[in-house]
Chain A
Amino acid sequence: MVDQPYSTAPQQREAATMGMFVFLGTEIMLFGGMFAVALGLRLTHPREFVDASLQLHVWIGAINTAVLLTSSAAVALAVHAVRAHQYRATSVLFVIAALLGVVFLGIKAFEYATEYREGLLLPPVGVQRLFMDLYLLSTGLHALHVIVGAGLLAGVAAFAPRRATLVENTGLFWHLVDSIWVFLYPVLYLAR
């Protein structure tokens, strides 16, 4: 079960996990650029930034935060399950997590639609427009990660629930997608 450049299975597992952590580091820097832009915007226009943030639907965002955190809990349980060799439980928990990801996307789409109806999404000009563009771009980039993550969860659940390293690394990715939301939510929705 050991692939080409490795001599032992633990070595291969450690390398895969480390690779995933380094990759997550690059993801953090990717969103870091986004957060830097948000910081710049808030420093240059503190008042307008808060005004724009007040317009967002805090409760929809809060529900979505709860949904995503719950899915992360399922992933954490799945990792425990695979370590205990309960592969069926691993699969089920991953599917639950992926479904919660889809629920998150559904709620997000509903939120976008509501905002669009209210004329909030594409206001004419000014800092509010800038804020909403940033909101759209950062939540959009995050949603893209949710789509990829949910796909990975479903794929691993269907085809490889016995490969512990793969399960753990997919879980790590999902936790990162989750943590990024935990930072995006206060930055965008809770600016006061």
Chain B
Amino acid sequence: MTDVPANRRANPHDIRDRGLSETPEQRTSYLRAGHTLRSWFLTTDHKRIALLYLVAVTFFFFVGGIAAALIRIDLLTPEGDLLSNEGYNRAFTLHGVIMVWFFLIPSIPNTFGNFLIPLMIGAKDLAFPRLNLLSWYIYVIGGLCTLFVLVAGGVDTGWTFYTPLSSMFAHGQVVMAATAVFIVGFSSILTGLNFIVTIHKLRCPGMTWGRLPLFVWSHYATSLILVLATPVLSITLALIAAERLFGLGVFDPKLGGDPLLYQHLFWFYSHPAVYIMVLPGLGVVSELVTAAARKRVFGYWFVAGSSLAIAAVGFLVWGHHMFVAGQSMYAGAVFSFLSLVVAVPSAVKVYNWTATLYKGQIAIDPPFLFAASFIGLFVFGGLTGLVLAMLAVDTHVHDTYFVVAHFHYIMVGGTVSAYFGALHFWWPKMFGRTYPMVWGRIMALLIYLGFNLTFFPQFILGYLGMPRRYHVYPPEWQVWNVLSSTGASILGVAYVLPFVYLLWSLRYGPPAPANPWGAAGLEWTVPSPPPKENFAETPVVDCPAYDYPLEMEEGEMKEGARG
């Protein structure tokens, strides 16, 4: 280790500064505000809690990924070679449960939302710091319950826990799995509550609603869904557990109950939950696109309002999961119409991002590549969603791989791309180190290609009639399944490698300046990594969001761009 005077600034281009054990910024940052385990596990600092979430959520991403790998390996051949029927059911159920509740829902809000919302609005912390820590512990307890389910034999109901399968016929740990989801729901509720109050009450002077970054707007919309929809899921899962444990018959037709009622209650939560998963991603992309284009976002109020519109209309479309479940024709028509309506605000966002990029000074950096793949895949997933919202077409492709491909385009192509985009964009801010840009670009492309190779064949399979949740299929579909599994192996590698070079950068990466992307926003005005109290003094905002200069002069461009 070389002797570095405390006041010397690290230079990213100086070879001697690579592998610098600690920059002055890091030494005074939240990362060094305490070294004991206690200072991490009992912290109320939103930035540290965000890192706790980052570790936990990423762990579950890979656990769910292993289940996905088993599924794709089993589907390589038309016979069920690798897994038994029961084992296959358990693999896709765990994949769904873990990915939905332990990765997708908490992923962006609880890591990046937690880390960035206070920084973006000029606050010292979230409104209820201890509640924030509590929500992490609740998440961990829920996660341990899921791991127990995994070890104790799993569940085979699918992530949807449909009755009467889950209540009367399924073997395995249904009650425990429902308990795990029930518990993690409270973590979501507390986070949503915290965000809503923080955004209302802790904005710094001058940070009006019209100056909020779009990331904050989309998290506000997400939080509304979190607090209003999650309790309904809690009570529904409690009813399932009561049915299995005490023979309660609310969903049991033998006792006069109604199994379809379960689907109504479940989708009343779970369709809005789809927007819980994707809205934060939309917020991330709004940030990434404006930063990459170095321009003000096109149509600020439309992008902000579309988040709220998605949240509101998203509550009214749940019936489109039940087109073939025997609901009334009129209900079907209304739900079909509303499902088309919810595409409008999503399209508004895509058009506005495109208009933002138009004539922008686009920097082809990893975050932009992730944002661009998000936009492409989100459009594709969204358009096939419109196809599925059509009553007649849905009858043909319902419960086939077409549906599987559609929601993976939104959830994986969309949200996971946004997660990786956010990781690459804010990593220098979170840890004060820069990773190799080349690797970031390669990984963004590899994820995009691997993703399409995995999921595009599934559209064709679904259209040909391959039902979801089957692992034995006619041999003529093998070629599509092999293509899909090949893509999945590329995707697997491309998801692991970023963590290799990101972790490498913690030790060997060149130190990051406060604003490595030349982006606007309060989070870039503080050192990287930020000090414990975020801002030395409360900032005062006197300009709109994304206040990039309209025309950059030659000289300014050099200065404004990354050093």
Q: Which residues of A contact B (CB under 8 A)?
A: 4-7, 11, 14-15, 18-19, 22-23, 25-27, 29-34, 36-37, 40-41, 44-45, 48, 125-127, 129-130, 133-134, 137
Contacts and interface: CB of A to CB of B under 8 A. Distances in A.
Nearest to B243: A133
Interface SS majority for chain A: helix
Given A40-B261, A130-B255, 14 more contacts: A4-B44, A4-B125, A5-B126, A15-B197, A19-B127, A19-B197, A22-B196, A26-B231, A27-B231, A29-B232, A32-B232, A125-B254, A130-B256, A133-B250
B231 A44 contact: no
B239 interface: yes
A15 B124 CA distance: 14
Nearest to B251: A37
A31 B197 CA distance: 23
A30 B231 contact: yes
Contacts of B254: 125
28 contacts: A4-B129, A5-B126, A11-B201, A14-B201, A15-B201, A18-B196, A22-B192, A22-B197, A25-B227, A26-B227, A26-B231, A29-B231, A30-B235, A32-B231, A33-B231, A33-B239, A36-B232, A40-B261, A41-B250, A41-B257, A41-B258, A125-B254, A127-B255, A130-B250, A130-B255, A130-B257, A134-B250, A137-B248
Given A19-B193, A26-B189, A125 B255 contact: yes
A125 B249 CA distance: 9
A183 to B, nearest CB: 15
A37 B261 contact: yes
B127 A5 contact: yes
B516 to A, nearest CB: 27
Contacts of B125: 4-5
B304 to A, nearest CB: 20
Interface in B497-519: none
B415 to A, nearest CB: 24
B521 to A, nearest CB: 19
Interface in B257-292: 257-258, 261, 264-265, 268
B84 interface: no
Nearest to A22: B193
A23 B134 CA distance: 15
Given A4-B129, A5-B202, A44 B197 contact: no
B42 interface: no
Given A5-B118, A40-B261, A137-B248, A19 B232 contact: no
Contacts of A130: 249-250, 255-257
A33 B235 contact: yes
B242 A137 contact: yes
A5 B232 contact: no
Interface residues of B, number: 43
Contacts of A33: 231-232, 234-236, 239, 265
B351 interface: no
A7 B268 CA distance: 39
Contacts of A129: 249, 255
Contact of B193 (A26, A36, A41, A44): A26
B200 interface: yes
Contacts of A6: 202
Nearest to A27: B231
Instruction: Please list the 3 inter-chain residue pairs (A to B) with the smallest Cβ-Cβ separation, ordered nearest first.
Output: A33-B235, A30-B231, A5-B125
Contact of B265 (A4, A11, A25, A37): A37
B318 to A, nearest CB: 12
A31 B193 CA distance: 18
B265 A36 contact: yes
A122 B469 CA distance: 39
Nearest to A35: B235
Count chain A CB atoms within 10 A of each CB in B44, B234, B255 and give the residue with the most: B255
Nearest to A28: B231
B422 interface: no
A130 B82 CA distance: 43
B465 to A, nearest CB: 34
B115 to A, nearest CB: 15
B202 A15 contact: yes
B258 A44 contact: yes
A133 B228 contact: no
B105 to A, nearest CB: 16
Contacts of A5: 118, 123-127, 129, 202
A191 B428 CA distance: 62
